[in-house]
Amino acid sequence: MNTYHLLGRTGLRVSPIGLGAMTFGQHGWGADETTAREIFTEYLDAGGNLVDTAVSYAQGRSEEMVGKLIAETKSRDRVVLSTKFSSFTEPGNPNAIGNGRKNMLAALDTSLRRLGTDYIDLYWLHMWDTVTPVEEVMSTFDALVRGGKVRAIGLSDVPAWYAAKAQMLARAHGWEPVAAMQLEYSLAQRGIEREHVPAAQDLGIGIIPWSPLSSGFLTGKYNRVDGIPAGSGRLGVPPFDGTSAVLPPYTDQQWDLLDELRAVAAETGHSPARIAINWVTRRPGVTSTLIGATSATQLKDNLAALDVELSAEQSDRLEKVLRPELYQPYLMFDRDFLKRAYVQSFEVKA
């Protein structure tokens, strides 16, 4: 990775693939400390610099591991350290969860201690709680940047209108602007293309996708049995039944996409995972793409996605299978629709 991208409209530069440390310290499907160390070292050696975690990952073990590995490698100045607040739970304390100022400040202090640092490069709201005023969130973010504890701010898993309101409030008040949005995005999950991607591009917000392999679905290691994925990994472990908001059921169209992905992978000699990650990294508005490896071998295979070159025909085959369906009012803004409707009046240009 010898190419770095500016993070939104900031001076921070991040590698095109970021290391998601959600797997660090997770039992069952994650990476223990020895494996995490191998992954972390391999990532730095490959030129990666964006490391992403959260106060809630693995009940805090993820942040603790990341802090220990950064200290061991003396890489704090090199790494763009990213963490999130919202899910900082403390039994019996109703203010230890959500987007409010009290929880944000408490979670940040906890993250700084675990990570062994006095500042966070990119601090995220982890998930919209539906109740805290956006004014409270943005004014607190601004105070943290002015106080030197945070360098840049981001919004993860929020509605597009919320991100737009946050950015316009920042502009109106002279507050720190939103640098990035972290959202699920993959060949199998493309809903953000309707609102989030255009909003981000217009407002100067970078997009950092999570789960570019759709929770492992796009690795090609799962087969369909009685309508659900079967195989080794999270999706193939009972009682997965598609009822989770994070792991929804896979549709016939998504299984068709997987067949096409496997075909393209066979034609190119690359793994399905490489093809899928490559597709996300090249999408409009994407700044860096987070991958969550569970071994150094898996990480190396995923990093090789940056070297994949697909033909225009292969790219088109993958793109059209799950292109988001247009419905009103989006149908009226479709370029092909406008060309048909106004061909006598003007030419619609890209």
Domains and CATH numbers, the chain: 5-342 (3.20.20.100)
Catalytic residue among 4, 57, 123, 185: 57
The rounded distance, in Å, linking the Cα atoms of 114 and 273 is 32
The rounded distance, in Å, linking the Cα atoms of 112 and 119 is 7
Contact 152, 122 (CB under 8 A): yes
Residues forming beta bridges with residue 206, ordered by sequence position: 180
At 248 the pLDDT is 65
Q: Which two tokens stand for residue 302?
A: 């995923």
At 224 the pLDDT is 80
Q: Which two tokens stand for residue 65?
A: 């591991």
The rounded distance, in Å, linking the Cα atoms of 87 and 195 is 26
Contact 149, 120 (CB under 8 A): yes
The rounded distance, in Å, linking the Cα atoms of 187 and 317 is 11
β-pairing, 289-291 vs 206-210, is unpaired
Q: Which two tokens stand for residue 75?
A: 């890489």
Taking the C-alpha atoms of 23, 27, 29 and 33 in order, what is their torsion angle to the nearest 10 degrees? 50
Per-residue buried b or exposed e for 9-45, using 16+ beta carbons within 10 Å of the residue's own CB: ebebebbbbbbbbbbbbbeeebbeeebbbbbbebbbe
pTM higher than 0.75, yes or no?
Answer: yes
Could you give phi then psi for residue 83, rounded to 5 degrees?
A: -145, 170
Distance of alpha carbon 199 from the chain centroid: 16
Contact 29, 22 (CB under 8 A): no
Number of other residues whose CB lies within 10 A of the CB of residue 273: 23
Per-residue pLDDT of the chain (350 residues; tens, 9 = 90+): 889 999 999 999 999 999 999 999 987 678 999 999 999 999 999 999 999 999 999 999 999 999 999 999 999 999 999 999 998 778 889 999 999 999 999 999 999 999 999 999 999 999 999 999 999 999 999 999 999 999 999 999 999 999 999 999 999 999 999 999 999 999 999 999 999 999 999 999 999 999 999 999 999 988 887 667 776 666 655 545 555 555 667 899 999 999 999 999 999 999 999 999 999 999 999 999 999 999 999 999 999 999 999 999 999 999 999 999 888 888 888 877 777 776 555 555 55
Contact 337, 52 (CB under 8 A): no
Task: For residue 291, give the nearest of 3, 5, 19, 1 by alpha carbon.
Answer: 19
At 243 the pLDDT is 53
Is 43 labeled as catalytic in the residue annotation? Answer: no
